Chains A and B, each alone.
Chain A
Amino acid sequence: MSLLVDVRKRLGGFSLDVAFELERPHEVVALLGASGCGKSLTLKCIAGIMRPDEGRIVLDDRVLFDSEAGIDLPAQQRRVGYLFQSYALFPNMSVEQNVMAAIRAGSRQERRKRARRELEALHVGELAARRPRELSGGQQQRCAMARIFASDPELLLLDEPFSALDGYLRWQLELELADTLRRFPGGVVYVSHNRDEVYRMCDGVCVVSDGRSGPKMGMRELFEAPRSLAAALISGCKNVSPVSALPDGSLRCETWGVTLFCEVPFGLDVTHVGIRAHYLHMGEGENRIPCVVDRIIDSSFSTIVMLRTPAGGLLRYECEKDAWEGLEAGESCVVHVARRDVLPLGEGGAR
């Protein structure tokens, strides 16, 4: 199983420039990015719903799209399963008819049998006679997956599969979908803006920012050593500042008015640094930042403290609820950050 995607498309003022690869069977790769960054557009290009201006899409040894060779396989022949955000079940048909619609070969009897089998496999066999509007969001998702599997896809595209659901149900379904994906032999491209969901469900991740994709990286790499500003922000890094490199190898942070040393080697292209909120520590140490407590926010499981830095910019500090020392707004304090926790970052575009 392999998938190569390298496409460019202009759409009004927006330009898409995305490239990534899937190499192993069962591989689940996430396209992670804020809404409107071009993730769904990329899926539409792969599925053949939208035509890229130029580039190549190759699935195993089949060329789905190649602008130079003039190849543009219609969506019907691509064998790419697409789970839409809204699940897109046909509202005028029963669940069973929906699944049968994806099966082309065989008599009516055989198609019905196959549809039943796909529904049973996802534990929704008893919903066969229902209409989509009578189903919960979770049931709709399972029926839509059954319909996709009935079309014998070689690749799955999942577009924000949980955006229509919430809370406990969402967690339950996530576990189920993870099992389902493990049984699927082909590759999966998983679009989401939720970093935690992506961390749990996927093997690799491409950060997409403003239509441009970054390099594919492992999950740990994204969270422990993001290289670009976009990757750092989407991975949940709360503190970033533009920097200028000083001759002694330190970095001058504009937003915070301090100079920090960083253990990770960086090149000339470094433009920002990032510090995760829970990697800041109270008290003296290397990379010290004198601050004034600006406000204290009680969150569900942690305490968030906004600290005013010498240059006026705010730093976000987070700790366990019980660990907060009880400083009041207006009091002075010092925080420090270990050299290995200062992340040097390249400019905006995720590449």
Chain B
Amino acid sequence: MDWYPLINSLRVAAVSATLVFFLGIWFADVVARLPRVVKGVLDVVLTLPLVLPPTVVGYLLLILLGPRRPIGAWLLDNLSLRLTMVWYAAIFASVVVSFPLMYRTARGAFESFDQTLADAAHTLGRSDAWVFWRVKLPCCRQGIMAGVVLAFARALGEYGATSMVCGYTPGSTATVSTTVYQLWRTGDDAGALAWVLVNLAISAVVLLAVNLMERREREFAVVGRWS
């Protein structure tokens, strides 16, 4: 069995989860502090990919990055960089699709953050950046971790937008989910089943990891309280 689709899927998901982590917490922090009207509008825009069909996301990405569109054409002419039908094109698709999951969970976590902690840090001479990285993020780490895991899992399972911007090229753009579809479409039921099992195993591991993380958090909290 050729393991390329698994490796490709994992690297795409890892890169996009990392990107989404920074983008998500940055937007969540900034949007929470905006005036109400702007916040409402941005909130809708940033959450849209969550409810849009992935094919719509894929279509919009092709309009933006396609080789005959301004951005895609400019990059192709000047840097010989293709943004579609290459393995890393899947990163664009999964970043857009999994971003709302990170953004929403991070924003929820930040909203329950006690603002007096930030005020206290400011009166002690600490900057906004210090508060963010040293107090706010650690205090909200449970929500942030949940967001990262969800975003990673969503990126791993991404199919619709990915198949539109990358297509399916064995050994190049093939991911686990596109491989399942391709093998099933070409009548290779056994091959499809193998990848379905791989998918199930990965999902189980991810969910198990989330549960373990939550339990450790709980045990730590209880031990902390009574020691």
Q: In the complex, which range does the number of interface residues on chain B fall in?
A: 20 to 34
> Any chain A CB within 8 A of the CB of B116?
yes
User: How many residues of chain A get a CB closer than 8 Å to chain B's CBs?
Assistant: 28
> Any chain B CB within 8 A of the CB of A104?
yes
Which B residue's beta carbon lies closest to that of A80? B123
A134 touches B227 (CB 8 A): yes
B123 touches A78 (CB 8 A): yes
A84 touches B116 (CB 8 A): yes
Q: Which of B89-128 contact A (CB under 8 A)?
A: 114, 116-117, 119-127
B116 touches A76 (CB 8 A): no
> Any chain B CB within 8 A of the CB of A58?
no
Cα(A134)–Cα(B220), bound, Å: 12
Contacts of B122 in A (CB 8 A): 48-49, 74-76
A49 touches B225 (CB 8 A): no
Contacts of B123 in A (CB 8 A): 47-49, 75-76, 78, 80-82, 151
> Any chain A CB within 8 A of the CB of B139?
yes
Cα(A48)–Cα(B119), bound, Å: 9
Interface residues of chain B: helix, strand, loop or mixed (majority) = helix
> Any chain B CB within 8 A of the CB of A136?
no
Mark each residue of chain B from 116 to 148: 1 if its CB lies under 8 Å from any CB of chain A, else 0: 110111111111000000110011010000000
A134 touches B120 (CB 8 A): no
> In the assembled complex, how far is the CB of residue A105 from the closest CB belonging to chain B, in whole angstroms?
10
Mark each residue of chain A from 203 to 231: 1 if its CB lies under 8 Å from any CB of chain B, else 0: 00000000000000000000000000000
Cα(A128)–Cα(B169), bound, Å: 59
Cα(A92)–Cα(B127), bound, Å: 17
| Residue among B120, B126, B139 having the largest count of chain A Cβ atoms under 10 Å | B120
| Of the residues B124, B126, B134, B139, contact of A91 by C-beta under 8 Å | B139
> Any chain B CB within 8 A of the CB of A88?
yes
Mark each residue of chain B from 139 to 164: 1 if its CB lies under 8 Å from any CB of chain A, else 0: 10100000000000000000000000
> Any chain A CB within 8 A of the CB of B224?
yes
Cα(A86)–Cα(B119), bound, Å: 12
If A84-B119, A88-B119, A91-B139 touch, whether A102 touches B224 (CB-CB below 8 Å) is no
Contacts of B125 in A (CB 8 A): 76-77, 102, 104, 151
Mark each residue of chain A from 182 to 219: 1 if its CB lies under 8 Å from any CB of chain B, else 0: 00000000000000000000000000000000000000
Cα(A86)–Cα(B117), bound, Å: 10
> In the assembled complex, how far is the CB of residue A87 from the closest CB belonging to chain B, in whole angstroms?
9
Contacts of A74 in B (CB 8 A): 122
Contacts of B114 in A (CB 8 A): 86, 88
| Of the residues A48, A86, A101, A133, contact of B124 by C-beta under 8 Å | A101
Cα(A77)–Cα(B123), bound, Å: 8
A101 touches B117 (CB 8 A): no
B117 touches A82 (CB 8 A): no
| Of the residues B120, B138, B139, B225, contact of A84 by C-beta under 8 Å | B120
Which A residue's beta carbon lies closest to that of B221? A133
Contacts from B to A (Cβ < 8 Å): 114, 116-117, 119-127, 134-135, 138-139, 141, 224-225, 227
Q: Could you pull out 15 A-B pairs where Cβ atoms are within 8 angstroms?
A: A47-B123, A75-B122, A78-B123, A84-B120, A86-B114, A88-B116, A91-B117, A92-B138, A92-B141, A93-B134, A102-B124, A131-B224, A133-B225, A147-B124, A151-B125
8 shortest A-B CB distances, which residue pairs? A88-B120, A92-B138, A75-B122, A102-B124, A82-B123, A49-B119, A151-B124, A88-B116
